[in-house]
Structure 1
Amino acid sequence: MSQIHLVSWNVNGIRAMIKKDFIKDVKEMNPDVLCLQETKGQPEDVKTALQLLPEYQVAVNSSKARKGYSGTAILSKEKPLEVFYDMGIEEHDQEGRVIAAEFEKFFVVTVYTPNSGEGMKRLDYRETWDEAFKEYIISLEEKKPVIICGDLNVAHTEIDIARAKENYNRASGYTQTEIDGLDALLNEGYIDTFRLKHPDEVKYSWWNYKYRARERNVGWRIDYFLVSEKLKDQVEEAHIYNEYLGSDHCPVGLKLNS
């Protein structure tokens, strides 16, 4: 049976990332589909930075509101049937946060979910975003199954965050509002693939640059692969690749039998 390997990575700035081991790391992981978040560049800058990966088709979505902020990309060895940018909602389409690539058997949607911000300044906005994103995914699912990946900016349960009690309802990314937003998506039948394969494993995908958090493994699991219920039986493996450095996030991966 053939297998597809997908990787998602919040790179925290692609132009800085390619000066590190990013190209070597991607070639080592060798994904069929690579989804990036927080590319922080205009389309031409991101495409130029990714020229050292000529085997991939590249789709880029950049922030219109602020240059050098946010942004997403999907790289795929197989050319997508079609690529869709944003959700079609003006309020949510200014920061380059969503790309959907349609393939023969499924959609791959990568997302950089808005952070609720210091002091929860964007928590109300985040709540409306989560609802809109859920409805967008449901609309795609009507056509074919959906694979969602990216930085969802929420630790789902206590096992997904090193210091759960101290952070619950006090830190952006671990408020009940944000947890409810992810629950609403999972309740539509989406599967958290890492928890499907590793129900009790403590593993993180993001560490604060301050306080040497990665060195001490005081982290959060906020990067995910979620799949449609229809694809659940095809999930072979879900990975968190802690060994790859260069960003405050590490890559996460999914192997799907096709």
Structure 2
Amino acid sequence: MAITGEDDVQGARWTALADRVGQTLDGIVAQAEVALHRAVRFLRYEAGVPVAWLVPYPQQLMLLALFFHHRPDPDGAQSRALVRWFWSTSWSTVFVGNNAFHLRRALHQMRAHATGRAGLSSQGQYAQPLPDRFDTEDGRVRAFLLWELSHFGQRHGLDGEPIELVDLLARSGPAAYRRVVTGIRDASGIANRIVLPTPPGVPVRDALLDLPPSRLRTVAVSHGIPPAALARLLADDRDGFLRERTATLAGLEQEFIQETGAELAADESARENGP
């Protein structure tokens, strides 16, 4: 629908669209398929999205396909702008709830960017704080997971060998993210999940604590568990482990957000600059 020039891609009727495009419908479908392939290549190799279920919002894929339909071979500046746009929209709430007004405006902006008439605006796209709960239905959570995958690229398994992350995430989906500690009020926290296969029936915490000290440190660091959090884990301070790791991950992600030039949501700025 977007490739035909439709603005109301959510409310448009297929029969009306077919009447409007007539005999060219098959050609438009073929063009959309080619554009989708280009969008997927961009997401994988430039935006750093290794598997489809980690795309924060489906609207992003549609809008990227629209761009690559109009501009199959973007220049470097356009590609870098697309990457910034991808992250900015992933951290914000602009696509939450399928807001028709925001989507229509995004369609106009993307067409203008593709044709060189205007740049991509981040107006109103404020980066939201790190969510409290691990919920992969939440686009902001998926944005965090994408950043974490990039920041902690090579994870080590219990044997000290690298984990094939992409294969594991493609095969297991969200179930690949397992809880480290249990039995605490905040066990559902986003910082209580890591991608670490263990033998059947063995909890992640027990598997970690059974490792020799030197290997434990190597494995823990590769999974984004800082020394302070590991010390809490070794002392069986489960709440302290979660606090330490949450603070570390939130701080590192916020540094990346600020490096991209994205604006923080008001409540996050207030938390950072409070008394």
TM-score norm. by structure 2 comes to 0.23
Q: Please say which structure displays the higher CA radius of gyration.
A: 2
Structure with more relative contact order (C-alpha pairs < 8 Å, separation 6 or more): 1
Higher relative strand content: 1
Higher relative helix content: 2
